[in-house]
Amino acid sequence: MGKLHGNEGKGKLYCAIDLHDKKMLCGMAGGTGKVKYVEFRTDDAGMRDLVGELSRRKGASECSEVWVAYEASGAGFLLADFIEGAGFRVSVIPPSHLPVSPKSRSNKTDRRDVKRIMDMLRGHDLAGGDLPEVHIADPELRDDRELVRRRVRLGEEITDVKNKIHGLLKRNGFRKPEGMDNWTGEHLAWLKRTADSAGGNTCFALHGLIRELLFYEEEVRLADREMKSLSRSPRYARPFLAVTSIKGVGLQTAMVFLVELGDLSRFPNRRCLASYLGLVPRCHESGERDDRKGHISRMGPSRVRKLLNQAAWSMVGHDAYWREWFKSRTSNKEDRKRMIVAVMRRLAIIMWHRGLAASEAS
């Protein structure tokens, strides 16, 4: 193993990784030197081998620091935890911020992916270029997210099953009695009677959907119980009470907001918060045309925007101030779309201010 060329003895050892489920390709270089590629397995043994190789190369080239970067993926942050535990610096880059051209899409290889990350990493450190990074939450927060995200998914599953039941009833010409509310005990009893009377495979399908619905509703009940318990824990108790004091913000909206954003103090101002949540308009300026605003960016966690949207409509529907504020600024369908986004953004900022103040007071 030879020395890495570049700023030996002074600079850093850079490592860019293209991470996959079973293997990872690592490119290593010192300073502006040539990239050397090494492949490892993506398991505990492979990560130990990677750390050992980085340590050996750091010692051989006498670099002052090791800086590792890789693209965020469904693998989570296990690799980042392992690298940080070894005392090295790590950056996880959001895929949406990596430069991609039509040519690179048609000629994609692991080595080219590694080089893109390496160029971005060294360009930032040596020339002051941009290096967007994913916020790496602590293990406890990541564990809390599993529960809250499970609750969000359960709500989506229930909606899906209900739509399937409606579709089955419509296809087979079944209509519920006049005056009966949907999804009440009376309605479920009617659904079961309808399934029995349908007979054949329609009976089997409808009973199956009813069982799915009851299963997911029980899972929701259990998840809500766990979320309520989590909301009372020392980490969330004060900010949870602060954000739920806002009319229209309930258990699920508050907990999704708090666990997805994590450390509220990492946002220096409201503009950064709105940008993170994807609630700012896209901008396109070229030549003589400037300040052209488009649709919101929709970057960041979509589940937060979804819950903010539901809460915003609830506020507009039930709070006199927000109802008047909304109606006075809307005259058509397009205005309604824009203004509900404005309500979402204002709601997110209010929740952030109150949650941050409560966190700092605790």
Q: Look up the CATH number of the domain holding residue 56.
A: 3.30.420.40
Q: Is residue 4 part of a domain?
A: no
Residues 190 and 277 in one domain: no
Q: Is residue 300 part of a domain?
A: yes
- 211 plus 268 within the same structural domain: no
DSSP symbols for 60-93: HHT-SEEEEEEE--TTTTHHHHHHHHTT-EEEEE
**Pairing verdict, β 281-286 and 289-296:** antiparallel
Same-domain status, 291 and 193: no
Q: Does residue 315 belong to any structural domain of this protein?
A: yes
Give the residue from 189, 211, 231 where a domain finishes: 231
Instruction: Note whether residue 3 is domain-resident.
Output: no
Q: Is residue 132 part of a domain?
A: no
One domain, residues 61 and 169: no
Please say if the pLDDT value at position 1 is more than 80. no
- Residue 318 within a domain: yes
Residue 245 and residue 355 share a domain: yes
81 domain-assigned: yes
* Helix-, strand-, coil-residue percentages of the chain, each rounded to 5: 60, 15, 30
Among 50-64, 208-222, 276-290, the range with the most confident prediction by mean pLDDT is: 208-222
Is the model's pLDDT at 108 over the cut of 70?
yes
User: Does residue 262 sit in the same domain as residue 282?
Assistant: yes
Question: Ranked by mean pLDDT, which of 133-147, 293-307, 322-336 comes out on top?
Answer: 133-147
Q: Could you say which of 186, 208, 231 is where a domain stops?
A: 231
**In this structure, is the dihedral angle defined by the CA atoms of residues 184, 190, 196 and 200, taken in order, positive or negative?**
negative
Confirm whether 133 is domain-assigned. Answer: no
- At 279-306, the pLDDT tens digits run 988 776 665 555 556 678 888 889 999 9
**Mean pLDDT in residue range 252-272:** 96
- Structural domain including 248 reads 240-361
Q: Which residues contact 145 (CB under 8 A, 6 or more apart)?
A: 137, 259, 260
For the chain, the domain total comes to 3
Q: Does 97 share its domain with 152? A: no
pLDDT at 4: 44
